[in-house]
Amino acid sequence: MRVMMRLVCWPSSVPGGKAMRGLLGSRWLVFVAAMWMQSWAGVGYLFGSLSPAIKSSLGYNQRQIASLGVAKDLGDCVGFFAATLCDLLPLWAMCVLIFIGNNGETYFNTAALVSCVQNFPKNRGPVVGILKGFAGLSGAILTQIYAMINVPDQAALIFMVAVGPTIVVIALMFIVRPVGGHRQVRSSDNCSFTFVYSICLLLAAYLMGVMLLEDLVDLSHTIITVLTIVLLVLIVIPIIIPLLHTFHSDEISTSQEPLFPGPHKEEGSKSQEAVQQQQQEVILSESEVEDAKPKEVDLLPAAERQKRIAQLQARLFQAAADGAVRIKRRRGPRRGENFTLMQASIKADFWLLFFSLLLGSGSGLTVIDNLGQMSQSLGYDNANIFVSMISIWNFLGRFGGGYLSEIVVRDHAYPRAIALAMAQILMAIGHFFFAMAWPGTIYVGTLLIGLGYGAHWSIVPAAASELFGIKNFGALYNFLTVANPAGSLVFSGVIASGIYDYEAEKQRKHMNLTHLLRKLLSEVQIREDKELKCEGAVCFFISSLIMMGFCIVAFVLTMILVYRTKIVYANLYGKGRT
């Protein structure tokens, strides 16, 4: 414990008379509980390992499998009920059930992200990246837990997926909530985030090592159980942070304190409505300053720009007091202020962000949902290793995307979306490797697609909260997530599956002709009634190149967004820069 305390650098201990109340009201406890909840939220990433079994057992073609994947993406979680009811219900009914069952992840993400973004308004990038990272890593976590259960019956997996998340959410539902975290800023927060980063990297490295060990060596059930227990311990370790925050106090950070001023004693009689009116007047005046300032002011260094704006604001207030000008109420908020969904929907920046996400994450999700067929077409029998690998890269992409984008905005006052553009270039390269299908390139493609796709889900929510505010962040975030299944519907449900089935049909006709010449038509007829399967690099060659083109278009859209929002980020984060 002394080592842990030294690592996260907490000062002296304090009496614990109100320790439990302080613990339950700690924003760090909310954050850690949200991490645990997200560890069960991304069960949908297991679909890639299940789709080959569903396809072979039900005799589905790739387009039908893609329809199940789209239904899964619309619900945004997972639906294993299709395997149980497949003999009783038609395809459309199975899609409806998967959509209903899968909709749970939407509530996981909304509760976790909205609560933690409001509790950590000045650390949006790392918070979103870590939470979305755990959701991406949950596929690998659940795969390891299922390996420990060691039950060949698939009903055990269905039971675990149905009951596990429910138990976790019920246990944490009164903890994950906004707790006024902006008033809990401490000088040790940077150390706390460093500790969380370390645990996250250790967790990802451990899972990767366990996955490779289980793939290369035939481990006993006892060893698998021990490995899984160690995994669960690593997930629980971050609880140290809220405990130390509760029993060891430090001062509010002086660099953050001016950002959250509290009311003075002499203002105690002022009503809440009066305070809100005062805040509204300040916002209105800032908007008028934005309209009145010369364009060349934005080109000045940050310190000089803030000085000129302050002088202009003072003159505007004086003129308004003298009656020379009248400060008018504008019709809507400006970028960086709080938007409603309707107000954001008429802004070009919102749709640039939406379509960039649709093209980028949609192409990545197409790979995730079709990874089983992609690996089998290249001659790999076990798709589970690639599903686990892309879960880990997905996690690191979300984690790294949030961390690096935070450096971009904090240290350089530059638009966060520039990190998104870099992720989309990585994905374009990954799709190219999948298209070429050279020996071993599936590992490289999985790495790049996982990192790039994961980065989308830490950068986009943080950027949306910065450009359109956190007051209505839940509605804005959930609308943006519609881009994911929309992209999957077109890319996987139409393009990739259509090309796959076309190539598979060509191969089957060629095989039938070959067997006819060998007078084995009866044997071929049995195979023809079974699975429509494509083999070779040709199965996903064209679709991978199309996905690469979509990522390049997404990169162009993101760069347009970067150009349009430079001034916004300079105003948001450039005040302390010289």
Percent of the chain with pLDDT over 90: 22
Whether 11 shows a pLDDT value over 60: the answer reads: no
Q: Token pair of 16, please?
A: 């614990």
Q: Strands (DSSP E) along 100-207, which ranges?
A: none
Is residue 272 domain-resident? no
Domain count, the chain: 2
Look at residues 66, 125, 135, 74 and name the one whose alpha carbon lies nearest to residue 99: 74
Lookup result for tokens 């003298």: 322
Domain boundary, last residue among 221, 247, 273:
247
Compute the distance between CA of residue 570 and CA of residue 65 in angstroms, rounded to an integer. Answer: 47
Q: Are residues 243 and 346 in the same domain?
A: no
The per-residue pLDDT for 186 is 73
Tell me, yes or no, whether 352 and 461 share the same domain. yes
Q: Is the pLDDT of residue 270 over 50?
A: no
User: In this predicted model, what pLDDT tens digit does every residue of 206-228 receive, in sequence order?
Assistant: 988 888 888 788 888 889 889 99
- 192-201, 287-296, 439-448: least confident range: 287-296
In a domain, residue 219? The reply is yes
Give yes or no: residues 552 and 438 share one domain: yes
Q: In the prediction, which pLDDT does 421 show?
A: 96
Under DSSP, the state recorded for 454 is H
Q: What residues make up the domain containing 174?
A: 22-81+89-247
pLDDT on residue 69: 67
CATH number at residue 362: 1.20.1250.20
> How high is the pLDDT of residue 109?
72
Residues 121 and 224 in one domain: yes
pLDDT of residue 283: 40
Highest mean pLDDT among 63-67, 353-357, 531-535: 353-357
In a domain, 571, yes or no: yes
In order of 181, 312, 568, the CA distances from 316 in angstroms are: 34, 6, 21
Same domain flag for 71 and 210: yes
DSSP class of residue 17? T
- The reply to whether 41 and 175 lie within a common domain is yes
Distance CA 558, CA 460 (A): 11
What secondary structure, in 3-state letters, does 235-277 show?
Answer: HHHHHHHHHHHHHECCCCCCCCHHHCCCCCHHHCCCCHHHHHH
Question: What is the rounded CA–CA span in Å between residue 285 and residue 288?
Answer: 5
Q: Flag whether 314 is in a domain.
A: no
Asked if residue 267 is part of any domain, the answer here is: no
434, 535: one domain: yes
Q: Tell me if 425 is assigned to some domain.
A: yes
Report yes or no: 137 and 201 within 8 Å, Cβ to Cβ: no
pLDDT single digits (tens) 524-577: 444 444 567 788 889 999 999 999 999 999 999 999 999 999 998 988 887 544
pLDDT at 246 over 70: yes
Q: Are 116 and 241 in a shared domain?
A: yes
Mean pLDDT over residues 245-260, rounded?
Answer: 53
Question: Which burial class, exposed, middle or buried, applies to 457 when counting CB atoms under 10 A from its CB (0-12, 13-18, 19+)?
Answer: buried
pLDDT tens for each residue of 95-115: 554 455 555 566 677 778 888
**Which of 216, 247, 278 is where one domain is finished?**
247
pLDDT beyond 80 at 152: no
Q: Which of 218, 247, 276 is the last residue of a domain?
A: 247
122 occurs within a structural domain: yes
* Class of residue 31 by CB neighbours under 10 A (exposed 0-12, middle 13-18, buried 19+): buried
Q: What share of the chain is helix, strand, coil (3-state, %, to 5)?
A: 75, 0, 25
Q: Give Cα 144 to chain centroid, integer Å.
A: 21
With respect to residue 67, please indicate whether it lies within any of the assigned structural domains.
yes
- Burial grade of 14 (CB within 10 A; 0-12, 13-18, 19 or more): middle
Q: How far apart are CA 420 and CA 482, in angstroms?
A: 18
Q: Are residues 93 and 235 in the same domain?
A: yes
**Residue 82: predicted pLDDT:** 35
pLDDT tier at 313, thresholds 50, 70, 90: low
| Burial class of residue 88 in the structure, from the number of CB atoms within 10 Å of its CB (0-12 exposed, 13-18 middle, 19+ buried) | exposed
Looking at the chain, the number of H-run helices and the number of E-run strands are 27, 0
